[in-house]
Structure 1
């Protein structure tokens, strides 16, 4: 079931709210940035996301195809969300970092299904052979 979650970076400079349905699935992948960040995301359409504060605290990192803005707080370094445009997944998207949701319960996190993607080998629609480290 979809509901509005509130999230923030570690220092609280960046605050957001997003309508997410954790029960419909979350994602982890082994691409170079998600693996290093251990990013655990839930996808949302941009119109269901609202940045409450901290636009001026966000720094942007892009690489490779430049299709995703890997945003992070310039004060504490936390990646609260990423946004971008990838035609293959429906165009404009936002991925909220579940670790930054302030009002998700331990039970919601534990029950959220995880879909694994093999981003390292650009095999996004399939899980990598080993997922236990993700």
Structure 2
């Protein structure tokens, strides 16, 4: 991932295993992107932060976070993340 501009306005937040890296705007607090815990070579991005991006042109994957586990005992072998619940 290469940040072309505005990197100085980002702040990092981590918890639990500290594998995931969540970035927020220092000024307004909006979530910008994160590096995933279970697949560190993948990123989640807030597409509403991308100029000129039409989110309606892409399929939506709903994530329900309230019941997400912190560590996943059933994680796929190719994921480097934690396995113990």
TM-score when normalising by structure 2: 0.61
Could you say if the C-alpha distance between residues 92 and 112 of structure 1 is closer, same or farther in structure 2, counting changes exceeding 3 Å?
same
1:54 deviation in Å?
A: 2.5
In structure 1, stretches of 5+ residues that fail to align are 1-48, 126-134
Distance 2:35 2:62 in 1: 19
Could you say if the C-alpha distance between residues 77 and 117 of structure 1 is closer, same or farther in structure 2, counting changes exceeding 3 Å?
closer
Q: Which has the higher helix share?
A: 1
Match of 2:50 in 1: 101
In structure 2, stretches of 5+ residues that fail to align are 76-85
1:85–1:92 CA contact under 8 A, matched in 2: no
Structure showing greater relative contact order (alpha-carbon pairs closer than 8 Å, 6 or more residues apart): 1
Instruction: List structure 1 runs of 4+ shifted beyond 3 angstroms.
Output: none
Could you say if the C-alpha distance between residues 66 and 111 of structure 1 is closer, same or farther in structure 2, counting changes exceeding 3 Å?
same
Distance 2:57 2:3 in 1: 26
Match of 1:8 in 2: none
Superposition RMSD in Å:
2.7
Q: Which of 92, 99, 105 is the aligned partner of 2:41?
A: 92
> How many residue pairs were aligned?
71
Structure 2 counterpart SS, 1:82: strand
Match of 1:77 in 2: 29
Deviations 1:61-103 (A, max 9, x none): 11223221111111222222112442xx4x4222111111111
